[in-house]
Amino acid sequence: MEMNTRLQVEHPITEMITNVDLVEWQLHIANNENLPLEQKDIKVDGHAFEARIYAENPRENFLPQTGKIQLFATSENARLDTGVASGDEISPFYDPMIAKLIVWGENRTEALENLAEALANTHVVGLQTNVSYLHAITQNKDFKQEKISTSLLEKHHKSLVKEAISKEDINIIAGI
């Protein structure tokens, strides 16, 4: 039997729908303390989405981008897990992930609306990102109707990229 003792990158989704801070629980375990709840006591509530914001260009096969983040701002109605801020540099030496944006809703439809709103209010100025591409996914008819498969992005790539031409381009053209 294999055991993975690290948190998965999607752990914010679990935290949002269970209201359990898994990082805090890891610290309890590391200190040989008991956990505050048993598995049977953990309840799932609602739906959550996580969107990973990357410095990459969806129109160029998601080619990683480098440069200074002149401005990074997002919705206050979302959880943001990040290690960067306005003024930081995205270098070629590390993964170009800027942040994870996590939202919750009573159901999938509400959570998806919250994700769309949070992405619409996320601004990264200074380099190309996938924010508009992610927002385009939230507007995709098949994604909204849960007609999801591993080929969804490939199937809709051209239309998603076309819809994604927006604020990143405006920011780059304006030199903001």
Q: Which residues are catalytic?
A: 6
Distance CA 24, CA 8 (A): 15
- Residue 49, SS3? strand
Burial readout 126-139 (b: 16 or more C-beta within 10 A, e: otherwise):
bbbbbbbbbbbbbe
Q: Is 46 exposed, middle or buried, given 0-12, 13-18 or 19+ CB atoms closer than 10 A?
A: middle
Nearest to 8 by CA among 20, 18, 23, 19: 23
Please, are residues 132 and 165 in contact by the beta-carbon 8 Å criterion? Answer: yes
> Could you tell me which of 159, 51, 42, 56 has the C-alpha nearest to residue 102?
51
Residue type, position 130, single letter: N
